[in-house]
Amino acid sequence: MNLRLHIWRQAGPDATGMLKTYDVANVSEHMSFLEMLDVLNEDLIGKGEIPIAFDHDCREGICGTCGMVINGRPHGPVAKTTVCQLHMRTFKDGDEIYIEPWRARAFPVMRDLIVDRGSFDRIMQTGGFISVNTGNAQDGNTLPISKINADHAMDAAACIGCGACVAACPNSSAMLFTAAKVGHLGALPQGQTERSTRAMNMVLQMDVEGFGACTNHLECEAACPKGISVEFIAQMNRDYVASVFGGRD
Amino acid sequence: MELKSNTPNGPLTEQWDDYRAHLKLVNPANKRKYNVIVVGTGLAGASAAATLAELGYNVSAFTYHDSARRAHSIAAQGGINAAKNYQNDGDSIFRLFYDTIKGGDFRARESNVYRLAQVSTSIIDQCVAQGVPFAREYGGYLSNRSFGGAQVSRTFYARGQTGQQLLIGAYQALMRQVGLGKVKLHNKQEMMDLIVVDGHARGIVSRDMVTGKIESFMADAVVLATGGYGNVFYLSTNAKNCNVTATYRAHKRGALFANPCYTQIHPTCIPQSGDYQSKLTLMSESLRNDGRIWVPLKKGDTRPPDQIPEAERDYYLERKYPSFGNLSPRDIASRAAKEACDDGRGVGPSGLGVYLDFADAISRLGKDVIADRYGNLFEMYERITGEDPYSVPMRIYPAVHYTMGGLWVDYDLMSNVPGLFVLGEANFSDHGANRLGASALMQGLADGYFVIPYTLGGYFAGGKLDSVSSDAPEAKAAVREAEEKVKLMLSINGKRSPTSFHRELGAIMWDKCGMSRNEKGLTEALTRIPELREFWKNVVIPGSGAELNQSLELGLRVADFLEFGELMCYDALHRNESCGGHFREEYQTEDGEAKRNDDEFCYAAAWEYTGVGSKPTLHKEPLEFENVQLATRSYK
Ligand SMILES: Cc1cc2nc3c(=O)[nH]c(=O)nc-3n(C[C@H](O)[C@H](O)[C@H](O)COP(=O)(O)OP(=O)(O)OC[C@H]3O[C@@H](n4cnc5c(N)ncnc54)[C@H](O)[C@@H]3O)c2cc1C
Ligand code: SF4
Ligand code: FES
């Protein structure tokens, strides 16, 4: 198939960016979306032009490195699918495709489609863990955890930290990402000691980083490639309220 | 050079306890005076950096990713082994040790493997305490599954995302230490060289991938946990950015590279669909429990699978290995698939594929049972290929998956360069010539959480190190070299992209040094690889060095692969035997099984760098087996 791509080009964090148009021919339906861009890039290099910078690594939908907005939708049109797992059979001959980076104040563009998601790491640093030093642990089976709770924790822990939820949110809120971590650790007995301070500290850091507030648009859940449920946001709000009344460490 | 493994004296079962009991310690108040560089934040690196910081050392961690959580470890699916014996099915530390030694075809060091089996149980405890959501039974206790190469059920897992959950656990521990100011994390930094001062590893040269700035970072010890080199084959199941640069540069600075030819090929991956293919995707081995593998009997049969009658199909694994059938071990199954395709009987558009057919299982058990067992794998397959495996047989083909070779290390996980420690897939230590499933995650975390915290302290307490700074002539020279390399690469302005060189190298490696090797092919590869280094005359890298430049990143990695591939071929050529993942066609039994030669090759081959294009020097570490009997692996 032949396609017309409109791709965001921006040479660096402080440069002005704009959409540039590229025609690509003979795209195989079996290619992944990123392979289609690989082929375009090899072409550009051949012509002495600067290839399009985009982030990726595992190409299996698990590392969370890839991410771009395709025709207005983070990770593209297929539900619960990262862009690295999106294949060209989703598109048809003659399609025009708009490709842009995640847009959010807390995710500055570094080049073309690559953004800096360091803000996610900094949220994690304020409380996204259980404080246990190596060597302190008791036998793994001394603490039975019901399958329901373990599965619930796993549902939240499946987050890959890609940032699509932020890109989808009209307020650029990082609520789903943060709530997934709070929900994962809060579902487990090991996570109880620090439960309320964790929610408090992580939510505060979200503000510091410049993410917006959550006003219940639920776009995040729709965009999330791992299907993280917005119920975790409600849970985090309860933990947060508890921490306000309980005081902060 | 004599290779001293520094294995403690005494019986195998007591070595590690004894070692720890007599280890010299660093005074707690002094620990913060020691600076440690950890390169890599995968399972091995993140667990090491976090634990060393907890102990009080001053840690700087480096990764080329934008976040420590993205390391390749995240992609591991199946699980992690530990000798917990929760199932009461006869597991023990000795059994895990024995399975690992045997699975590695008797080419690993006993003492290291025994310690690995010993600490495996603590790993599970630590991960549970961190909140890793392992699968549980209804009673609330940890669940296990079985994995290849073992007769006990000792594999712990978190759905199909075990690597992700273990890495997130280690990453969280690391984030905690970063938040506490005990670890300085350098994201988007790529190590380009090792700095050796007075014979000791004292720092690294690193390139900031956003600004392009190249600078030196100095320390009292350097820990490399930089993963494997499977991407030398271009196509593999590894993440796209995995590369050999860190370990290969250390090799060029004097560290010996051990057993580089030992690579693991996984039989069940989704075949290549076109020449644009960028990587290969693993399909879990468990599918072989219910799928039957076949190819058409006739060469060049292009009929769709449902039109090929039963009598015209060759279920070659069932035919050749009647007792193991479709569950033959990884290396056997991989080679048999290659044979069928080389014979012109492969399927799919490229002819490089075999069918994995669930039709019988579906008619026997019903679609629901199959969906329950493999539903998510079937979905993934359909997402990638666009074919529905419930109605059309899957097509699979072997792919490079893991590299057992790595930098040579002693019992302390220290290389022959004092102060340079190597952990995880980057070292050669525990898997011999073949790794068992679910053992790489175990090894990475064992090295990081439970071995290096002790052995590094022993190194520091054992002798005083002079202070060094970035002004040391060795540091300045290494930075200058790296800068010049970048400059040179950018100035060539030739005709071919780094990817085109990488693909060509990968094709040579796959053909000549892949699933099966022979003297003729390896010799040919040893002339073709040096020719490919026309890279240095004909590569084109657009853009500059002072910006985020992915072509440059790739170019720098490919340049190292173009030297490293040669080292692999030298190793494969010298090892005149077949063992584990190293199959030399000249050395096989009548039924096509690997034929080891214990009289001549029962050693680890550790290679010393002697210059680009010049044959490396071989050093041997003899492997002594005092606790197991060398035996021939048999699958019939
Ligand atoms: C698809 C797949 C499935 C697997 N499934 C399993 C399984 O079920 N069970 C199992 O036990 N094993 C499995 N494995 C193997 C296992 O995942 C790996 O061997 C293991 O995770 C390697 O961990 P590591 O910490 O050594 O390295 P990695 O996780 O590869 O980490 C390497 C780190 O080093 C950094 N790095 C590398 N070079 C540089 C440089 N020059 N400068 C800066 N940073 C650098 C990277 O950024 C990264 O942080 C699987 C492998 C694959 C490919
Ligand atoms: S919650 Fe979903 S969309 Fe947001 S970072 Fe996690 S995986 Fe990505
Ligand atoms: S590249 Fe890893 S999730 Fe897409």
* Residue B366 backbone zone (phi > 0: left; psi -120 to 50: alpha; other: beta): left
Pick the residue from chain A with its C-alpha nearest to B277.
A35
Q: Please give the angle made by the CA atoms of A235, A239 and A244, to the nearest 5 degrees.
A: 145
Residue of A37, A54, A60, A224 with the most ligand 3 atoms within 8 Å of its CB, for mutation: A60
If DSSP states are collapsed to H, E and C, what string results for B142-170?
Answer: ECCECCCCCCCCCEECCCCCHHHHHHHHH
Index of the ligand 2 atom closest to the CA of residue A120: 5
- pLDDT at position B147 is 73
Index of the ligand 3 atom closest to the CA of residue A55: 1
For A53-77, write each residue's pLDDT tens digit: 999 999 999 999 999 999 999 999 9
What is the complex's ipTM, to 2 decimals?
A: 0.97
What distance in Å separates residue A146's CA from the closest CA in chain B?
4
Mean of pLDDT over chain B: 95
How far, in Å, are B160, B345, B347, B365, B509 from residue B378 at the CA level?
Answer: 13, 25, 19, 16, 31
pLDDT band at B322 (very low <50, low <70, confident <90, very high): confident
A162 lines ligand 2 (CB under 6 A): yes
Q: Is residue B196 pLDDT above 70, yes or no?
A: yes
Pick the residue from chain A with its C-alpha nearest to B86.
A141
In this structure, what is the dihedral angle of CA atoms B324, B329, B330, B335, given to the nearest 10 degrees?
A: -70
Q: Which residues of B183-205 are buried (b: 16+ CB within 10 A; e: fewer)?
A: bbbbbbbbbbbbbbbeebbbbbb
- pLDDT at position B149 is 67
In this structure, what is the dihedral angle of CA atoms A221, A223, A227, A229, given to the nearest 10 degrees?
A: -10
Residues A148 and A54 in one domain: no
A113: its two tokens: 């489609």
B403 compared with B370, residue with greater pLDDT: B403
A167 lines ligand 2 (CB under 6 A): no
d(CA A164, ligand 2 centre) in Å: 6
Q: Is residue B23 pLDDT above 50, yes or no?
A: yes
With an 8 Å Cβ cutoff, are A87 and B386 in contact?
yes
Residues A121 and A241 in one domain: yes
The answer to whether residue A238 sits within a structural domain is yes
- pLDDT at position B620 is 98
Residues A185 and A92 in one domain: no
**pTM of the entire predicted model:** 0.97
Q: Which ligand is nearest to the CA of A177?
A: 2
CATH code of the domain in which A43 resides = 3.10.20.30
Q: Which ligand is nearest to the CA of A57?
A: 3
Mean of pLDDT over chain A: 96
With an 8 Å Cβ cutoff, are A111 and B542 in contact?
no
The DSSP output letter for B449 is I
B149: its two tokens: 């190469």
Task: Measure the CA–CA gap between A28 and A38, rounded to whole angstroms.
Answer: 13
Task: Measure the CA–CA gap between A49 and A30, rounded to whole angstroms.
Answer: 26
When pLDDT is averaged across residues B490-506 and rounded to a whole number, the result is 98
Give the lowest-confidence range in A190-204, B328-342, B567-581: B328-342
The answer to whether residue A138 sits within a structural domain is no
- pLDDT at position B77 is 87
The Cβ of residue A12 has, within 10 Å, a number of other Cβ atoms equal to: 15
Straight-line distance from the first to the last Cα atom of chain B, in angstroms, rounded to the nearest whole number: 42
With an 8 Å Cβ cutoff, are B67 and A38 in contact?
no
d(CA B213, ligand 1 centre) in Å: 26
Nearest alpha carbon, ligand 1 atom 47:
B63
B124 CB-contact burial (10 Å; exposed 0-12 / middle 13-18 / buried 19+) = buried
Taking the Cβ of residue B450 and every Cβ of chain A, the question of whether any pair is shorter than 8 Å is answered with yes
Task: Measure the CA–CA gap between B119 and B634, rounded to whole angstroms.
Answer: 29
Which secondary structure element, helix H or strand E, spans residue B483, and what is its range? Answer: helix B473-492
The answer to whether residue A215 sits within a structural domain is yes
Residues A124 and A199 in one domain: yes
Residues A127 and A84 in one domain: no
Select from A224, A227, A244, A225 the least CA-distant residue to A236.
A244
Task: Measure the CA–CA gap between B77 and A188, rounded to whole angstroms.
Answer: 22
pLDDT band at B576 (very low <50, low <70, confident <90, very high): very high
The Cβ of residue B267 has, within 10 Å, a number of other Cβ atoms equal to: 28
Residues A84 and A184 in one domain: no
Q: Are B227 and B72 in contact (CB under 8 A)?
A: yes
The answer to whether residue A71 sits within a structural domain is yes
The Cβ of residue B557 has, within 10 Å, a number of other Cβ atoms equal to: 21
Q: Please give the angle made by the CA atoms of B276, B280 and B285, to the nearest 5 degrees.
A: 155
Residues A148 and A85 in one domain: no
Q: Which ligand is nearest to the CA of A65?
A: 3
For CA atoms B132, B101, B85, B327, the dihedral sign is positive
B330 as an active site residue: the answer is yes
Residues A50 and A168 in one domain: no
pLDDT band at B330 (very low <50, low <70, confident <90, very high): confident
Residues A232 and A150 in one domain: yes
Pick the residue from chain A with its C-alpha nearest to B210.
A110
Task: Measure the CA–CA gap between A52 and A115, rounded to whole angstroms.
Answer: 13
The Cβ of residue B24 has, within 10 Å, a number of other Cβ atoms equal to: 11
Overall residue count recorded for chain B in this entry: 636
Task: Measure the CA–CA gap between B1 and A233, rounded to whole angstroms.
Answer: 61
CATH code of the domain in which A162 resides = 1.10.1060.10
With an 8 Å Cβ cutoff, are B69 and A137 in contact?
no
Q: Is residue B73 pLDDT above 80, yes or no?
A: yes
B230 lines ligand 1 (CB under 6 A): no
Pocket of ligand 3, beta carbon within 6 A: A 56-59, 61-66, 82, 84, 160
B599 CB-contact burial (10 Å; exposed 0-12 / middle 13-18 / buried 19+) = exposed
Q: Which residues of A113-137 are buried (b: 16+ CB within 10 A; e: fewer)?
A: bbbbbbbbbbbbbbbbbbebbbeeb
Residue reference for tokens 């630590």? B126
Q: Are B247 and B224 in contact (CB under 8 A)?
A: yes
Residue of B51, B60, B64, B72 with the most ligand 1 atoms within 8 Å of its CB, for mutation: B72
The DSSP output letter for B450 is I
Residues A16 and A82 in one domain: yes
Which of A57, A146, A232 is best to mutate for the B interface (most B CBs within 10 A)?
A57
- pLDDT at position A249 is 45
The answer to whether residue A196 sits within a structural domain is yes
Which of A10, A54, A58 is best to mutate for the B interface (most B CBs within 10 A)?
A58
For B82-98, write each residue's pLDDT tens digit: 999 999 999 999 999 99
When pLDDT is averaged across residues A106-121 and rounded to a whole number, the result is 98
In this structure, what is the dihedral angle of CA atoms B504, B509, B511, B512, given to the nearest 10 degrees?
A: 130
Domains in chain B, CATH or no CATH each:
265-400 (3.90.700.10), 473-597 (1.20.58.100)
Give the lowest-confidence range in A39-53, B166-180, B475-489, B585-599: B585-599
B77 lines ligand 1 (CB under 6 A): yes
Residue type at position A186: G
Give the lowest-confidence range in A222-236, B255-269, B581-595: B581-595
B202: its two tokens: 């004292």
Catalytic residue among B69, B70, B107, B330, which? B330
The answer to whether residue A229 sits within a structural domain is yes
When pLDDT is averaged across residues B572-596 and rounded to a whole number, the result is 93
What is the share, in percent, of chain B residues with pLDDT greater than 90? 88
pLDDT band at B635 (very low <50, low <70, confident <90, very high): low
When pLDDT is averaged across residues B303-322 and rounded to a whole number, the result is 94
When pLDDT is averaged across residues B236-260 and rounded to a whole number, the result is 98
For B141-187, write each residue's pLDDT tens digit: 999 988 766 788 999 999 889 999 999 999 999 999 999 999 999 99
Residues A121 and A96 in one domain: no
Q: Please give the angle made by the CA atoms of A154, A155 and A157, to the nearest 5 degrees.
A: 55
When pLDDT is averaged across residues B598-622 and rounded to a whole number, the result is 98
The answer to whether residue A107 sits within a structural domain is no
B41 lines ligand 1 (CB under 6 A): yes
For B450-459, write each residue's pLDDT tens digit: 999 999 999 9
Domain boundaries, position A150: 117-131+144-246
Q: Are B498 and B541 in contact (CB under 8 A)?
A: yes
Q: Are B538 and B487 in contact (CB under 8 A)?
A: no
For B233-247, write each residue's pLDDT tens digit: 999 999 999 999 999
Overall residue count recorded for chain A in this entry: 249
With an 8 Å Cβ cutoff, are A62 and B75 in contact?
yes
When pLDDT is averaged across residues B352-371 and rounded to a whole number, the result is 94
The Cβ of residue B518 has, within 10 Å, a number of other Cβ atoms equal to: 16
For chain A, the domain total comes to: 2
- pLDDT at position A245 is 79
Residues A95 and A127 in one domain: no
How far, in Å, are A177, B124, B262 from residue A239 at the CA level?
Answer: 15, 28, 51
The answer to whether residue A158 sits within a structural domain is yes
